[in-house]
Amino acid sequence: MPCLLLCCVFLTLPVFVRADECKDVSVKNEAISVDQPFAFNCVPPPETSGEVNITWYKDSNKIPITKNIQSRIHQYQSWILFLPLTEEDAGIYQCVIKNINSCLRIHVNLTAFRKYWCVTSRNALLNLSDEYIQTLHFGKDDGLTCHLHFPDSFVLELITWYKDCKEIKDERFYSRGIKLLVNNVSLEDGGKYACEARLTHAGKVHRVLNSINVDITEKIEYGDRVPKITYPRNNSIEVQLGSTLIVDCNITDVRDNTNLRCWKVNNTLVDNYYGESQRIREGLESCVPLEQYNKYTVNITFLEVKMEDYGRPFVCHAGVSAAYIVLKLPAPDFRAYLTGGFIVLTSVAVSIMCMYNIFKIDIVLWYRSAFLPTGTKDDGKRYDAYVLYPKPQNGSQRHDMDMLVLKILPDVLERQCGYKLFIFGRDEVPGQAVASVIDENIKLCRRLIIILVPESLGTGLLKNESEEQITVYNALIQDGMKVILIELEGIKDYTDMPESMKYIRQKHGVIQWSGNVTEESQSAKTKFWKKVRYHMPPTRYPPSFSTSTM
Ligand SMILES: *[C@@H]1O[C@H](CO)[C@@H](O)[C@H](O)[C@H]1NC(C)=O
Ligand SMILES: *[C@@H]1O[C@H](CO)[C@@H](O)[C@H](O)[C@H]1NC(C)=O
Ligand SMILES: *[C@@H]1O[C@H](CO)[C@@H](O)[C@H](O)[C@H]1NC(C)=O
Ligand SMILES: *[C@@H]1O[C@H](CO)[C@@H](O)[C@H](O)[C@H]1NC(C)=O
Ligand SMILES: *[C@@H]1O[C@H](CO)[C@@H](O)[C@H](O)[C@H]1NC(C)=O
Ligand SMILES: *[C@@H]1O[C@H](CO)[C@@H](O)[C@H](O)[C@H]1NC(C)=O
Ligand SMILES: *[C@@H]1O[C@H](CO)[C@@H](O)[C@H](O)[C@H]1NC(C)=O
Ligand SMILES: *[C@@H]1O[C@H](CO)[C@@H](O)[C@H](O)[C@H]1NC(C)=O
């Protein structure tokens, strides 16, 4: 037991010693009416730095106020709370602020009294020191503030305003947060007001009643007492239609100035103007205490900017000061338009080109069949095409070639399309010399059709009987005669080809024969024959005259 006692003494000793070392910084006098909650915040002086421990004591009692939030009097963070205050609570309270190397002490002299509110027989008692004095400016829109100095955890549930003991019902008065806004202040608005607030904290409801003595002043305060609006500055804001916009109104004002700070449109509070939709509304006022003055911020939120909002001044008021913003549609971005237009035009052009390339043959053939006159033009030529082809040695290939050249080609191009062909081996006058046949007749033709088979590269066309022919189509190329190259089977390797053939292939392209060489009659409307007809001289299809002479 003696040991335990010793321990206790040892533990409490430093507290005594340190408490005595503490420096008294200030004494605050608070006169509060009983039966309502009271809260006092112990704010460390600005010079204290680092982590601080704040402890509340009553009188010279060395035992700290409890932190149990169920207790009627308790410490909550740096606050001391009386929920509610009673007459016995009067006394001196000490707030001890400790950090690593200093200890400061603030004294609060708390006086508790009973207030007789709205009891006419005791009028004298109405002049109580807890009354707040506020001023309204005559002829202006102004406001009163209900002083509710409690920790943030206290939630304001309801506030009711009274004037001369009667609840205020006038339309010129409008309750907003802890404020009572007064439109067009008149001389009769002076007098005794009260605000009654219901706050909840830790699940309990508390009722606060403050009386406010209101004076009406006609003079406008100049100099430092005029609130300054640092933003907006009568500027315009570019904003897209339909977007959300939040604009701060930043105001600097002397401390405890109850100047009304609000946003208005068409001289009406935005909250009233957009009452039902709440599309545009004012935010709650926030306050940052600075050394010389307070900085207040009230924002305005446009949930969705509409056309009607443009060009309209939204005015931020702070007492006698006012400044507005005007919304503006963003200037159209010409570069974007140009780029967009260019992209559209380019893609249209590209698509037209693609379409043309895909349907080129059909378009040209359709045009010919629709608009070309019948008959051939007189250009001194007798034939539409000269057909040049190899004579393979191999039996089946020879048969295929004969089928194609002597049967299918005339069937499609001559009978169905009305062209006139010169086919060597069919149309020459017997007994004529080969070279002179070619030479004479080729000049009478508008096109040269050359048929290639892979074997023709090595043997037929180019080796044997075709020395003259090579000379011929060399000449043709110089004449600028159009050549239609038809490959019977895909030829992959052109390296062995004479230069003239490579040139023709490169310049005129090649048409690939598809399908078998059979006896069945073919239609001029198949893809292959359309390609051939496309390269043939323009003529009307189907020919208007009948050439069914087979
Ligand atoms: C504050 O109190 C806590 C314990 O309650 C202690 O650990 C801490 O060191 C104290 N800080 C200061 C600055 O005294
Ligand atoms: C506390 O305030 C009351 C009334 O305001 C005053 O009478 C009393 O002397 C004050 N006590 C101290 C210690 O300042
Ligand atoms: C109210 O009290 C103040 C001092 O706090 C005093 O100047 C004023 O004359 C009093 N008014 C009445 C009506 O008693
Ligand atoms: C303010 O009220 C006065 C009468 O009290 C009236 O003449 C005046 O037109 C009102 N002003 C506005 C802006 O409503
Ligand atoms: C207005 O004040 C707020 C809060 O202090 C700040 O964040 C904001 O940047 C200020 N706006 C302007 C335009 O000064
Ligand atoms: C603005 O207010 C005036 C009256 O103060 C009213 O006549 C007018 O119609 C209002 N304008 C709009 C756009 O609401
Ligand atoms: C606008 O004010 C409200 C308080 O009413 C606040 O919660 C919100 O963060 C503010 N918005 C901006 C962007 O400052
Ligand atoms: C902004 O316009 C108001 C009138 O609406 C005027 O009183 C104020 O001086 C103007 N402020 C600035 C910074 O131009």
Asked if 381 and 516 sit in the same domain, the reply is: yes
Give the residue numbers spanning the domain of 515.
373-535
Atom number of ligand 5 nearest to Cα 297: 2
* pLDDT confidence band for 18 (50 / 70 / 90): very low
Sequence-ordered list of residues with C-beta below 8 angstroms from that of 262, at least 6 positions apart, any chain: 141, 143, 176, 181, 269, 282, 298, 316, 317
**CATH number of the CATH domain containing 396:** 3.40.50.10140
232: Cα separation from own chain's centroid: 25
Write the pLDDT tens digit of every residue in 406-424: 888 888 888 888 888 888 7
- Domain end position, chosen among 50, 79, 113: 113
Higher pLDDT: 202 or 437? It is 202
pLDDT, average across residues 234-241: 93
Measured between alpha carbons, how far is residue 283 from residues 51, 298, 312, 322 in Å?
33, 6, 20, 17
CA of 102 to the centre of ligand 1 (A): 13
Q: Strand runs (DSSP E) across 100-178, as ranges?
A: 102-113, 132-137, 142-145, 155-163, 166-167, 173-176
- Any ligand 6 atom below 6 A from CB of 312: no
Q: Could you tell which of 127, 128, 132 is best to mutate to test the pocket of ligand 3, judged by most ligand atoms within 8 Å of the CB?
A: 127
Q: Is the pLDDT of residue 550 over 80?
A: no
Residues 286 and 198 in one domain: no
Q: In terms of domains, do 175 and 92 share one?
A: no
More confident call, 23 vs 395: 23
Residue nearest atom 12 of ligand 6, based on CA coordinates = 266
Q: Which helix (H) or strand (E) holds 81?
A: strand 79-82
**Distance, CA 268 to ligand 4 centroid (Å)?**
14
Report pLDDT for 383: 87
Least confident piece of the model among 337-351, 354-368, 426-440: 426-440
- What is the band of 309 on the pLDDT scale with cuts at 50, 70, 90? very high
Residue 309 lies in a domain: yes
Higher pLDDT residue, 446 or 6?
Answer: 446
Express each pLDDT in 463-503 by its tens digit.
445 555 665 666 566 667 788 888 877 666 666 666 667 77
294 shares its domain with 319: yes
Given a contact cutoff of 8 angstroms between Cβ atoms, the answer to whether 538 and 372 are in contact is yes
Give me the mean pLDDT over the 37-54 stretch: 86
The predicted structure's pLDDT at residue 297: 94
Final residue in a domain of this structure, among 266, 293, 328:
328
496 domain residue, yes or no:
yes
pLDDT at 462 exceeding the cut of 50: no
Cα distance between residue 169 and residue 191, in whole Å = 16
Residue 7 pLDDT greater than 70, yes or no: no
Report the half-sphere exposure of 374 (CA within 13 A, side-chain side).
Answer: 8
Percent of the chain scoring above 90 in pLDDT? 27
What would the pLDDT profile of 84-116 be if each residue is shown by its tens digit?
999 999 999 999 999 888 888 999 999 888 877
Does a structural domain hold residue 352?
no
pLDDT tens for each residue of 134-166: 888 888 888 899 988 899 899 999 999 999 888
What span, in angstroms and rounded, lies between the C-alpha atoms of 230 and 236?
15
Q: Do 521 and 379 fall into the same domain?
A: yes
How high is the pLDDT of residue 6?
Answer: 44
Residues 452, 418 contacting (CB under 8 angstroms) = no
- Give mean pLDDT, residues 359-385: 79
Nearest Cα to Cα of residue 321 among 234, 399, 386: 234
Q: Which ligand is nearest to the CA of 171?
A: 4
Active site residue 196: no
**Same structural domain for residues 275 and 185?**
no
| Residues 266 and 189 grouped into a single domain | no
What total of structural domains would you count in the chain? 4
Residue 540 lies in a domain: no
CATH code of 66's domain: 2.60.40.10
Q: Does residue 364 sit within a domain?
A: no
Average pLDDT of the residues of the chain? 81
**Least confident piece of the model among 139-148, 388-397, 530-539:** 388-397
Q: Is the CB of 123 under 6 A from ligand 3?
A: no
Any domain includes 356: no
- Please check whether residues 279 and 415 belong to one and the same domain: no
- Using an 8 Å Cβ cutoff, are 18 and 99 in contact? no
Q: Are residues 133 and 92 in the same domain?
A: no
User: Relative to the CA of 267, which ligand 4 atom is closest?
Assistant: 13
- 31 located within any domain: yes
Indicate the pTM of the whole model. Answer: 0.47
Mutate to test the pocket of ligand 2, among 24, 27, 29, 89 (most ligand atoms within 8 A of CB): 29
pLDDT tens sequence across 501-528: 777 778 778 888 876 776 666 787 888 8
Ligand nearest to the CA of 184: 4
Q: Is residue 339 part of a domain?
A: no
Share of the chain above pLDDT 70, in %: 81
Q: Are residues 126 and 251 in the same domain?
A: no
Q: Are residues 315 and 444 in the same domain?
A: no
Residue 68 in tokens: 């149990």
Amino acid 119: pLDDT: 61
Domain-terminating residue out of 272, 297, 328: 328
> Same domain for 163 and 310?
no
Residue 17 has pLDDT above 50, yes or no: no
Task: With CA atoms as reference, report the closest residue to 282 among 397, 123, 139, 143.
Answer: 143
